Amino acid sequence: MSDFHPDNTLVDWTKDVIQLADALKIEQFIVIGVSGGGAYALACTSEIPERITKAGIISSISPLDVPHVTEGMNVINRVLLGVMQYTPFLLNPLLSPIVRKARKDPQKLFDYGLINYFPIPDKEVLFQPAVREMFLEDLPQAFRQGACGLRLDIKILAQSWGFQLKNISLKVYLWHGKKDENVPANAGRYLANTIPNCEARFYADEGHLLIFNHWQEILTTLVS
């Protein structure tokens, strides 16, 4: 696990990727990013293209300074991003109760909190026993060191990304659900229309968690 750097940017993060790849003696590799991770994958395609063969972004966020990309976003995400952009000093008080609940009683947070912010296609995924169990294991780990990681992620994604999507030359594959309320499909459409060599697929009846239903297709596409 890399050290916490409160002033890190998307571009800075690619240096960690290079250090890891060098340590593992991997010269070139594929990058995959899901949700907010899509921004980090795209940073790699921009900043270290000589090390990347192709990229896959699933349910990916886009830059937030683009009109209409947050239309249809659920309330909690819209509030968190808005607070970070305009009143960042309020973010800690907002996140603290979530962090405490995630560490103390992740099952209650999942069953009576988080799941209510997902549309029907995502609820169907989350009700699968294996997926639910995975989330219950991951929630305490996500906040093991408090809210600093989530707070930094929100900050990084809400500010300028530090690179231009239109300058990405590598092949990028994109998958996005039209019923996604965490990262609305408008974000995916913007990415697909702005990245020059982007092959996009949109699913009419999928939400944010489409990767659980389409992971085989995604991996097959990326390794072919």
Asked whether residue 212 is assigned to any structural domain, the reply reads: yes
Q: Find the mean pLDDT for residues 206-215.
A: 97
DSSP letter, residue 4:
P
Among residues 141, 149, 204, 166, which one has the least CA distance to residue 62? 166
H or E segment to which residue 177 belongs? strand 172-177
Res. 147: pLDDT tops 90: no
Looking at the domain assignment, is residue 1 inside a domain? no
Per the structure, the count of domains in the chain is 1
pTM of the model: 0.93
pLDDT for 1 equals 55
Q: Supply the CATH number for residue 125's domain.
A: 3.40.50.1820
* Assigned domain for 5 exists: no
Q: How confident is the model at residue 2 (pLDDT cuts 50, 70, 90)?
A: low
Per-residue confidence band for 5, with pLDDT thresholds at 50, 70 and 90: confident
- The reply to whether 2 falls in a domain is no
| Residue 190: inside a domain | yes
Mean pLDDT score of the chain, rounded to an integer?
A: 93
pLDDT in the model for residue 115: 86
Query: Would the CA dihedral through 6, 11, 15, 18 be positive or negative?
Result: positive
Cα–Cα distance measured from residue 198 to residue 193, given in angstroms and rounded to the nearest whole number: 8
User: Could you list the residue range(s) of the whole structural domain that residue 18 is in?
Assistant: 10-223
* In-domain check, residue 30: yes
Identify whether 3 is part of a domain: no
For residue 207, what is the DSSP state? -
Domain-embedded: residue 195: yes
